[in-house]
Amino acid sequence: MLTIKDEAMNGNVIRRFTIRDLSEEVSVREIIKARIYQEVQDYNQASEEEGFEGLIKPGDVEAQLNPKKVKQKKEIDWEKQYEVACDAFENNGFFILIDDKQAESLEQRVVLHVDSEVSFIKLTTLVGG
């Protein structure tokens, strides 16, 4: 398992969780994919609307205009979220620290250890698919 942290620019940890099923050596792209897939699957399988607390906020215009309006839970497409996340990483929407070293590219390979931590630091609010 790999520990994932969402952090604010000041270093405060907003959320901490683990992701499963990653190889010892992976690319930054694979870390993002595993994170997005797991958080979307967890949300989609939840029985109630809890609000999505993932890296990329689904781009639902109605929810932004009428946040208090009650509506049915909507399934989120992890592939759209993943595409937006990769684009955001490449365009400096967030950066990633892997064991306190900044990831430089999506294709960068890293070796993960038992105690490895990956921090996602958002620079802007990320809205996607």
Residue-wise pLDDT for 4-48, tens only, equals 999 988 888 999 999 888 899 999 999 999 999 999 998 888 877
How far apart CA 56 and CA 81 sit, in angstroms, is 6
Q: Is residue 40 part of a domain?
A: no
Mean pLDDT of 80-104: 95
101, part of any domain? yes
Give domain status of residue 34, yes or no.
no
Using an 8 Å Cβ cutoff, are 18 and 3 in contact? Answer: yes
The answer to whether position 37 is within a domain reads no
Residue type, 71: K
Q: For residue 108, is pLDDT > 60?
A: yes
Residue 124 backbone phi and psi in degrees, to 5: -145, 165
Alpha-carbon span 79 to 32, nearest angstrom = 11
Q: Which residue intervals of the chain are DSSP H helices?
A: 28-45, 61-65, 78-90
Number of domain units in the chain = 1
Rounded mean pLDDT of 35-62? 78
HSE-CB of 44 using CA atoms within 13 angstroms: 11
Say how far apart CA 119 and CA 4 lie, in whole Å. 6
Mean pLDDT for all residues in the chain? 85
In a domain? residue 93: yes
pTM of the model: 0.82
Residue 125 has pLDDT above 90, yes or no: no
* pLDDT at site 61: 43
Q: What mean pLDDT comes out for the span 55-76?
A: 62
What pLDDT sits at residue 55?
84
Gap between the Cα atoms of 129 and 78, Å rounded: 9
Residue 95, φ and ψ in degrees, nearest 5: -130, 165
pLDDT for position 62: 43
Domain containing residue 70: 2-26+46-128
Residue 50 pLDDT greater than 90, yes or no: no
